[in-house]
Structure 1
């Protein structure tokens, strides 16, 4: 009888978890990914690559302020070339550990600067074959690998899906139960997401980046030689097309006026902004998938009413659809605009925090001189795609994201 009871107990231990939730898998709860911030300059274009400088890039007090502001994760942009040697990878692991000790999860997001994955897919696989085993030493719940930032693969969603599947397998070999962030091609856009066939893996999140319309949010950073001061006067919402047209007419050159009129003609409103986000949410519902807006933001050089209205509208659309988000970025002109390297306890802009639905934490707004903001925009947001010159009458031939 005793043996029979012991056998029943053992069977119950095996069967009860299956009845409650399916096949055995992750023992830990999924990571807290709801409200996040991109840290853009720590392991990507840092002021110094010396290990001591990397260790001191961001203070514990600054990280605690992010937690106090209501954020629960950091998306850490990492140039793979920076962590290719032991000194760089050890500095990265120390930084991730420090962030996690403040109660924040960390998305480890490779942002290669010089790679062309269409021709060199092995570089991404080699990166994760080396990095994923090192991440095993960290908090398994709060460590979230992301396949790669903004894959391009123009007109080739199948080619990107094949590579992403293989890289996911490389990560799973070392981190079988980690949450992994996947994305579509076309620079991680919503269009790329909609073309993606989901993976048969329960522990993944699907990311997209959102900067529509880039003529407003990035001041058309994809195109050189325009009047940025004029573009910074664009309104949002742009329901008053006559008023928008007057702003366009004041531009100092014909190409800028034409682009501004193009923006005005589109009549961007909160409803128009929400439409592509709703499409992404519909894709997620159809595939029972979790979504992350891994990047969104608007230039600090944009006039404050338009900038804050755009941030409010984007944040409201994410919340309405249950989409997690990460502002780009902490130390970037598109977000909180903290200088690089950050001071010991940077002041966080309460207007930006409020616009994205976070409480202010008693810290006054931070501001950079216009020249510094423009320099940050040129350094931190210019990507190969942004640098393209788009021809008229199709100025949106390239929609900017953060770039690799």
Structure 2
């Protein structure tokens, strides 16, 4: 179930409709129509009084599937320091680490984080800094918040108060991402309101820490119009991109009813769709007057390597053309770019990311 929810977030499909949409062969365009029909409009106002701080992220990769599981290792992967050495040697400067903080804290106030778990995060942070990597701590898979925000919003704020206090003396290379892919009941204006409340708590201990805000609708293009940023020079927006979903998730073995295997890319018209999407993301960045991180993009392992590399190459080049830092999904443990069984990168993917191991 947790992996299904993860799929829904990455695909941008509404979970309750996902099987029907996929099974009938209806693709991302229809799913996006569902998002538009269910979006809660918001009025966006962005102040530009303060100059923006630099956002020194260029070549980023997600290190997912470990700390975002209910318990690290449940999904077959535990982070090793050697992984960070490997990532840095390949030329990446940043890692984004999805973390299920909500599974390791008290259910009731004061919502205290488990000391053993937070000590493990300390270790991962030390490893990143030791290897000269910027690390984005991403609060991920808080499904209870999405289902019942009235109860869990204050818990989210309390979790970030603890995280912020814990890392207040770390270098600027440690960044915070408040919530991964807001969705379901946690949508519309409340997403902006709660993220702003979290930021206020973070600023009490971290006045200049980079903090990343996400739009609703699973953090995809369908939610960027709803995102508002406060007047804070250290706040960054984010969006995820897995289009066309029928291709990037085709034949996924972990899904009950995946898009059919064998989907080719690009089909006629899909290059134009990519250009339209890029223009929309660039316009989003201009509207919020802040950097935007393309926080996730990638292709599942069931897609033939040649096609995975072709799509990755096209997306990486496209994001670089609009000067947008992008964070590939994933290092290993799903959507693999690195094969731990032989301790080697998938060379076509690394080449497509315009990198090569030293």
TM-score (normalised: structure 2): 0.75
**Partner residue in 2 for 1:58:** 80
Asked if the contact 2:251–2:303 (Cα under 8 Å) also holds between the matched residues in 1, the reply is no
Counterpart in the other structure of 2:330: 329
Name the structure 1 match of 2:27. none
In 2, the alpha carbon distance for the partners of 1:144 and 1:32 equals 11
Inter-partner Cα distance in structure 1 for 2:284 and 2:73:
42
Q: Deviations over 1:268-301 (max 9, x none)?
A: 2x33223212211112123321010101100121
How far residue 337 of structure 1 moved from its aligned partner, in angstroms, is 4.9
| In the alignment, structure 1 residue 353 sits paired with structure 2 residue 341 | no
**Alignment map for 1:212-223 (pairs within 5 Å):** 212-219=243-250
Which aligned segments of 4 or more residues in structure 1 are displaced greater than 3 angstroms? Answer: 46-49, 153-156, 220-228
Q: Structure 2 matches for 1:3-402, cutoff 5 A? A: 30=54, 32-45=56-69, 48=73, 57-60=79-82, 62-80=83-101, 81-82=103-104, 84-117=113-146, 118-119=149-150, 120-139=152-171, 141-153=172-184, 156-219=187-250, 225-226=256-257, 231-239=260-268, 267-268=269-270, 270-339=271-340, 346-358=343-355, 360-361=356-357
How big is the shift at 1:221?
5.8
CA distance in structure 2 between the partners assigned to 1:276 and 1:222 by the alignment? 28
> Paired residue for 1:366?
none
Q: CA deviation at 1:67?
A: 1.4
- CA 1:125 to 1:338, structure 2 compared with 1: closer, same or farther past 3 Å? farther
In the superposition, the TM-score normalised over structure 1's length comes to 0.67
Q: CA deviation at 1:329?
A: 0.9
**Aligned-partner Cα distance in 2 for 1:232–1:225:** 13
Whether the 8 Å CA contact 1:194–1:280 is kept in 2: the answer is no
Structure-2 separation of matches of 1:121 and 1:220: 36
Query: 2:154 and 2:253 mapped to 1: Cα distance?
Result: 29
Q: 1:320–1:31: structure 2 CA closer, same or farther, 3 Å change rule?
A: closer
- Specify every segment of 5 or more residues in structure 2 that has no aligned partner in the other structure, as ranges: 1-48, 106-112
Deviations 1:65-99 (A, max 9, x none): 21121111110111112472111101101210111
Does structure 1 retain, via aligned residues, the 8 Å contact 2:57–2:93? yes
| In 1, Cα distance between equivalents of 2:258 and 2:140 | 29
User: CA offset at residue 183 of structure 1?
Assistant: 1.0
Cα contact 2:55–2:291 (8 A) shared by 1: no
Judged with a 3 Å threshold, the aligned counterparts in structure 2 of structure 1 residues 223 and 134 are, in CA distance, closer, same or farther, namely: closer
Residues 113/337 of structure 1: CA separation in 2 closer, same or farther (3 Å cut) = farther
Where 1:149 maps in the other structure, the secondary structure is coil
Aligned residues: 297
Instruction: Tell me how far 1:154 sits from its aligned partner.
Output: 5.5
Q: Secondary structure at the match of 1:309?
A: helix
With a CA cutoff of 8 Å and minimum separation of 6, indicate the structure with the bigger relative contact order.
2
How far apart, in 2, do the equivalents of 1:154 and 1:271 lie?
Answer: 33
Q: Deviations over 1:227-255 (max 9, x none)?
A: 66xx331111112xxxxxxxxxxxxxxxx
Name the CA distance, whole Å, in 1 between partners of 2:317 and 2:137. 26
Q: CA deviation at 1:224?
A: 5.5
Q: Residue 369 of structure 1 corresponds to which residue in structure 2?
A: none
Mapped to 1, the partners of 2:180 and 2:337 lie a distance apart of 20
Root-mean-square deviation (CA, aligned residues, Å) is 2.8
Larger mean Cα displacement after TM superposition, 326-335 or 217-226: 217-226
